[in-house]
């Protein structure tokens, strides 16, 4: 790995052994280096890659401005999310976490507080991600010697949720969260049930909805090879099917996507299970 250009004392643009241009981070990695110098592999802590000159320049500019300690803590948070949530540790997760963490530290220094309008929904819909978010706040506060506000945990949780989408930032996760909150309102009005946000049945329903949104984003909806199954579900659970069709309309409005008949049918099954649990009715085997 050879040095190409110094970005900061802790960040350089380098050429790896395969001839690819990368951004390498490490304590003092850029100090005194000249183009063509061999980099000390033992000092390299993180390597990031971006395709295309514009993306590479943007990545280089970002990593030149973000303190190495912040990137290091962001990587530790990503590994924590991997251990607790099963998320892949990629630069697509580390970089947004580092960006958020850098602004969180700056907000604290300037006496500003983060305001997230979906804090209640995140707490109800993503308790596992929020728990990791709280641990991330504690970890960052300890390692960066700054007492981050508790509200930052919600933002970390949104980054964890968003990691399943291809889109950068938290836009997809926030839109999904808003839609899921509205879906619960639809289910409550359509069936007359009161949904317990702490119930296991609610967690399973949210999980199904999250995977549904991933399928919509990827364009890979459920298509059952047995064409009569959707009709069988509709006949067995007419109330749930009617509710699922309302949910499908809502999702269609929010995502500009039409849910297929099989996707709606499987959604109806999950609605039925949610209703069974709320009414304390034992579902059929």
CATH number assigned to the domain comprising residue 258: 1.10.1790.10
Encoding tokens for residue 248? 């499908």
**Assigned domain for 119 exists:** yes
Of 162, 28, 176, 46, give the one whose Cα is nearest residue 100.
162
- The string of DSSP letters for 51-81 reads SSHHHHHHHHHHHHHS-HHHHHHHHHHHHHH
82 and 150 assigned to the same domain = yes
213 and 245 assigned to the same domain = yes
188 and 273 assigned to the same domain = yes
86 and 151 assigned to the same domain = yes
134 and 224 assigned to the same domain = no
The Cα–Cα gap between 54 and 73 comes to 27
**Polymer length in residues for the chain:** 285
pTM: 0.74
45 and 127 assigned to the same domain = no
Q: What is the pLDDT along the chain (285 residues), one digit of tens a residue?
A: 888 888 888 888 888 888 888 888 888 888 777 888 888 888 888 888 866 665 677 888 888 888 999 999 999 999 999 999 999 998 889 999 999 999 999 999 898 887 777 788 888 889 999 999 999 999 999 999 999 999 999 999 999 988 876 555 567 788 889 999 999 999 999 999 888 888 888 988 998 998 899 888 888 888 877 668 888 888 999 999 999 999 999 999 988 899 999 999 999 999 999 998 888 754 544
Cβ atoms < 10 Å from Cβ of 177:
24
CATH label of the domain that carries residue 49: 2.30.24.10
Encoding tokens for residue 266? 């499987």
Of 101, 153, 148, 104, give the one whose Cα is nearest residue 127.
153
**Assigned domain for 284 exists:** no
Residue 114: phi, psi to the nearest 5? Answer: -80, 130
**Assigned domain for 232 exists:** yes
Residue 222: phi, psi to the nearest 5? Answer: -65, 135
77 and 155 assigned to the same domain = yes
175 and 273 assigned to the same domain = yes
**Assigned domain for 285 exists:** no
**Assigned domain for 110 exists:** yes
Q: Among the three residues 100, 127, 162, which one is the final residue of a domain in this structure?
A: 162
Of 78, 81, 102, give the one whose Cα is nearest residue 90.
78
60 and 84 assigned to the same domain = no
Total structural domains in the chain?
3
59 and 75 assigned to the same domain = no
**Assigned domain for 149 exists:** yes
Q: Among the three residues 162, 183, 198, which one is the final residue of a domain in this structure?
A: 162
Residues in Cβ contact with 19 at an 8 Å cutoff, skipping those fewer than 6 apart: none
Q: Which domain, by its residues, includes 145?
A: 68-162
Q: Which residues of 251-280 are buried (b: 16+ CB within 10 A; e: fewer)?
A: beebbebebebbbbbbbbbbbbbbbbbbee
**Assigned domain for 91 exists:** yes
**Assigned domain for 283 exists:** no
Q: Among the three residues 36, 64, 92, which one is the final residue of a domain in this structure?
A: 64
261 and 181 assigned to the same domain = yes
């Amino acid at each position: 790995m050879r040095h190409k250009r110094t970005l900061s004392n802790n960040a350089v643009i380098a050429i790896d052994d395969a001839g690819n241009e990368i951004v390498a981070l490490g304590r003092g990695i850029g100090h005194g280096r000249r183009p063509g110098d061999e980099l000390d592999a033992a000092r390299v802590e993180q390597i990031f890659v971006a395709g295309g000159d514009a993306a590479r320049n943007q990545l280089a500019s970002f990593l030149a401005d973000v303190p190495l300690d912040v990137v290091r803590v962001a990587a530790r948070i990503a590994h924590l999310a991997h251990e607790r949530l099963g998320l892949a540790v990629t630069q697509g997760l580390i970089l947004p976490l580092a960006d958020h963490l850098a602004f969180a530290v700056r907000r604290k220094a300037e006496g500003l507080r983060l305001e997230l309008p979906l804090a209640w929904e995140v707490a109800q819909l993503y308790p596992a991600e929020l728990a990791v978010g709280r641990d991330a706040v504690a970890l960052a506060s300890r390692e960066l010697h700054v007492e981050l506000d508790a509200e930052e945990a919600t933002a970390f949780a949104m980054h964890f949720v968003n990691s399943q989408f291809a889109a950068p930032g938290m836009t997809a996760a926030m839109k999904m969260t808003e839609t899921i909150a509205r879906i619960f309102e639809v289910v409550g009005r359509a069936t007359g049930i009161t949904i317990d946000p702490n119930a296991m049945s609610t967690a399973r329903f949210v999980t199904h909805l999250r995977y549904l949104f991933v399928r919509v984003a990827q364009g890979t909806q459920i298509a059952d090879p047995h064409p009569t199954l959707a009709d069988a579900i509709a006949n067995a659970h007419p109330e749930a099917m009617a509710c699922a069709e309302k949910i499908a309309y809502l999702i269609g409005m929010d995502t500009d996507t039409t849910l297929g008949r099989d996707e709606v049918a499987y959604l109806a099954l999950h609605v039925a299970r949610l209703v069974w649990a709320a009414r304390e009715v034992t579902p059929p085997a």
